[in-house]
Amino acid sequence: MVKTFTRMAVAGAAVVSVLAVTASQAQAAVLDTNRTISNSHGKFTFTDDGDVFEVCDTKADGYGMTGRLQESGSNDYVLTVTDGGDAGCDKKGYNIGNLREYQMSLSWNGGGATVRSIWFNE
């Protein structure tokens, strides 16, 4: 009888473990995949809720910032957002999905290196 109870307890613990892992994976799939890349002159942010890309020029140096979105398998950019010379940040919407990978890049319009995100999707 003790062996039967022990087996049932082990089996029950295994079921609970599987359910906990499944629930946490499902919860992770629901969470937004927001991304931000930045340098010393500004930042480029993707907000998954609404698929909005926002570029912010954080230095009043006479140059602006340009954020670009590239789709995998293409050398062209599917979205370009620039900011500079005005108050606030500039943003645009672009619907991305799970079928392709995307990469964000951020450039200071005064020169220098471009910052890139990892490839991602929703």
Domain ranges of the chain: 1-31, 35-116
pTM: 0.72
* Cβ neighbours of residue 91 closer than 8 Å, sequence gap 6 or more: 52, 53, 54, 55, 81
pLDDT of residue 24: 40
Start-to-end Cα distance in the chain: 51
The answer to whether residue 97 scores a pLDDT higher than 90 is no
Instruction: Tell me what pLDDT residue 64 has.
Output: 95
111 vs 33 pLDDT, higher one:
111
pLDDT band at 85 (very low <50, low <70, confident <90, very high): confident
Mean pLDDT of the chain: 82
What is the CATH architecture of 35-116? Sandwich (2.60)
Question: Considering Cα of 14, then 15, then 18, then 19, what sign does the dihedral take?
Answer: negative
CA 110 from chain center: how many Å? Answer: 26
